[in-house]
Structure 1
């Protein structure tokens, strides 16, 4: 507030507002840095647009008024989509509004850029030194949550497909989707194009992509399990429980390693998931069409979970059949 007062005794609140807004719905230093950067970029572009539009339609009152309404609509429409676009439309609308009120001046728009930059800088400094929450710690916590939700959905779905009691898989799948969305948002500072840590950016994108693949196959298993009580062509196969054990173990091992990198854990590798269901005794019937479809999802899920172990540094344990 003091810095805003030094820049302008009348519009100091722009700096305070920016500092407050960059803290909203953020949980790490990286998120605040990216949000402040986006607000500043949107404001600068909005100032440029405001200057251009003021020169083009400043003398046409109704045209300028119509553009203000369009920008206000665009501001609310783009708010959940892009913070940069929202800031752009807010600033451009202000430029036109000042024109309509006959208070337009280039110095006011430039002052908005200065106040916004000051507010964003104060927010980043406060996040880094006053209330520091490291981005990697935040993403690790969310990654553990995603893995726990993934394990819950997978274990319950496989158990139900193996003949176990029905479970509320729909709510568990929603929890998995929400946890994955939170992780995706938290990794934005790591995957942003301006980040200098390119190797870390590629790793974050790779991990999130693999988790989305895992979530897809887990949801597919849950959807099939939900049909089990009512669909006459789907029958439970107790052998599926054996195939799901390795996946559950590997998810737990990765989760433990992310929570504590010194944990003595490792993932199990070995034969394919389908090989784990081969009959132990000659003459035992092979699994049916529905089980074969479930196995494809389990196989892809097993491969994706094993793929997660490599970038996260989880070692492989002894091979088991």
Structure 2
């Protein structure tokens, strides 16, 4: 049993013993989940990707400069959750055009996604120095603490919204701890807007988001020897505008028992019982500034798309 599988087994055992039951969205991203998420990003309802692309197209040079790309000193550009790197390539091109002396270190838990990214970067940006890291965020953060030299850390795509309030603050503090005075963070925040648009982005008409959520059960069947019948489960999501939280669930449509060979246990689900699988919080600018201050960070620059749907925020240690 691999270390990753051991971690997954432990997480599932703990998460399904809770009331309500819950599993982390980090386990969505096996190779199949990563491919499904690429499809989600192209959906008409899913505005965050288009909005962040617009920011990078409009403000790419300014973002590169804010990250220290014109300072002349070598640095490492670390991206947590790199995926296919489509948006990041816009920034990489700006940094290369400015003759910035940097190494790109993409981090992703999916080996399949990483191999695809490295191949496309070699073909499209042959001058780019790339040091890929197939790790979890936690392991990557541990490496950041001991990494010498100046660094800029990217956490794009509104991934910060997947954390609950306490976890979010703890994560930002972990990011802030290894930062020197010249280091920078660039974090994507999905901003609050029409609640109907937000909800539709997480429950698309084609059912791709539902397949993405349900793929978690397929992964548990494969890696933990579970016996989920996906026909007995539904995807459900909703948005709470008071808290800014999108919450996604897997819903058991009938009473059923699920056996896990790897855990040597059986878990009972009542009819219409849920597994909470994902949060996706939305933010206001004052909330972002207050969160940064509480984490020991300060806002250096605040870039938005023309519609004000999304923000890429440059942060530094206070």
With the shorter chain as reference, the TM-score category is under 0.3
Q: Give the TM-score of the pair, scaled to structure 1.
A: 0.23
Q: Give the TM-score of the pair, scaled to structure 2.
A: 0.23
Greater strand share, 1 or 2?
A: 2
Higher relative contact order (CA 8 A, sep 6+): 2
